[in-house]
Structure 1
């Protein structure tokens, strides 16, 4: 009897140890690779720095890629997977096709990281670090990136088509879209500040510059010069999302909104007489508050449904499953 009780007690203790281990595996932490890959951060930053030196726009592209990964079934690196004859990824979803870019930079980072720490660093974590470094290199804030994500073995083109906010969204649609990801209205306004860097294609803002009334007339005319009204002309022509400092991460995006110089319809919706007006005004005059809320929101977004522990895998090549 005593032996039986001891055995039961042992099993109960073992169970709770396993649960504890499972829970600890599920916790992302900035120190996840501190022992297994101590040179990770400078290695990633070096590649990102080189890419931005060649083309400043790349910073905004890498940041956007992280958004598009996290909003589709969590921050799991699924956005990086290529289509094959037997596999459909997310790259050809409508919000991503001929728009999302920077995949070759992630490949370069992965190659560099594999040389120093083979088989250890996930592509999902590489993307999270690259997004942070892009912001900081372009004169924005920095933060401790939580790590420990693993890579998805699946992707969802349908979820990418459904879950990613469109440039035509209204304010209520934007709020709902972010709420579906567990993000607040404050997170929405702060994360939209990512549009202080990067550029957009004519096809995404043509309707705004020709048809909307809540737009500065001279701004609209300037944009029209490189974005013809005809829908079959100049679709890929670019314009900066932040008219003042498109290559600096700062709060001038919000000043643009107040001046009715938001490039996308969805941008200007944040300052259109709705519930987000006050926060836009705050960020436009208080860059420290913007930076703090942006960091909070980025960390929160990075926590969306990560694969941890034994879930997923650590890909050898970010473009395909092992």
Structure 2
């Protein structure tokens, strides 16, 4: 191998050993543990070059070196093979997620899985409202004067609202309302569905004007809510177990995770590419997360429905974490889009 490849092999060895031991790595340990085929003196020279380039650093007076944010970035950018999940792990993920009963359950299970697989904090965003379309609106008569609306979207979101009409409706009128509302809503993006419902009230049959107006008001409130601003978080205890990785900044990281806007911004910026995004330390825009690494990806077949990912220390198993985030996102996307 040429000098550049050899130095990257040394950097990779330092990253691997530091991630697993949390101890600074010396040249002797690299020669002993990694079959690089070079002498300890050559490794020391390579480490000096890596240090000059800002890829590794010497903490305190230790003889060993640890990776810097810049070093982790070069390592992540040059990962040739993401650590594949075993077939047993993939089967376990699929079985666990397919056992979910609804959207909330899918997202809760996803968070638990990601936190267990990566031993980091996992976060999943609810499907983005503007990208969902109405699949069906069910109108159920609970009593002659009380209806239940069940709005189902293509992202698996289900909203239920009970509406008191004040007037008694016949079964025929309930069926007419169901047909009218589905005709206006089915296939519409949620962002446009509110306007469709409002237009329906003006154009609807005069004898159904009163119940249509009542139902439209409830539906518009339902449609313009922003469930994508809801997050499911799990595995916070994993951070506190690694508190030594956050000298002076663990509290800041925990506070940042409580700020939903900060996390939503992170997830939103990773959705469009369809690729796993890794932000390391100082690369994070949010100041409170500059002592952490964030691995995120969009989920959903084709157009992403939302984002998911993990937050952990910069001393992270990047190949394993990237693989886990990617796999869970893919399965969640398949389940929610019915593919």
Is the pair's TM-score, using the shorter chain for normalization, greater than 0.5?
Answer: no
Per the normalisation by structure 2, the TM-score is 0.20
Per the normalisation by structure 1, the TM-score is 0.21
- Which is greater in Rg? 2
Higher relative contact order (CA 8 A, sep 6+): 1
